[in-house]
Amino acid sequence: MFITRRIEFSASHVCANPALPDEENRRLFGDAANPYGHGHNYVVEVTLEGDPDPVSGMVLDLKELKAILNAQVVDSFDHRFLNKEVPPFDRTIPTVENIAIEIWNRIEPSLSRPPAKLHSVRVYETPNLYVDYFGDAR
């Protein structure tokens, strides 16, 4: 069984590889390479897999999940310019793909313990573009 919680943060980013010339970044990323950055209301859906506990009827303690997501994701990402304020995005391009991988890496150690394990991280950059990441194991 999967259980999914949705959180949101507002952040800005630049999509450009500092090792590439400007015109190449412009060709690859279009307006997303504008050097001053731009932003999004990111929506994150974190999905865990597990069986409901016979005593509580819940896969895991939702209050604890919320606390972990706030501490590991919202508090670090919300109202930030990702490239300048949130490592590793000073050296990793904060594409929506890399944001999903980074969120997985931050929360997986706290969430993948019995009886539940992290199944996927979905990140919406806009309502029309999103990614799903399942960890290296897939």
Instruction: State the residues that interact with a second copy by CB under 8 A.
Output: 1-8, 10-13, 15, 17, 20, 28-32, 34, 36-41, 52, 55-59, 61-63, 78-81, 84-85, 92-98, 100-101, 126-134
135 phi and psi, to 5 degrees? Answer: 85, 175
Residues 63/57, Cβ–Cβ less than 8 Å: no
Residues in CB range of 86: below 8 A, 6 or more apart: 11, 76, 77, 80, 94
Q: Least Å distance between CB 22 and a second copy?
A: 15
Q: Least Å distance between CB 103 and a second copy?
A: 13
- Which is closer to a second copy, CB of 34 or CB of 105? 34
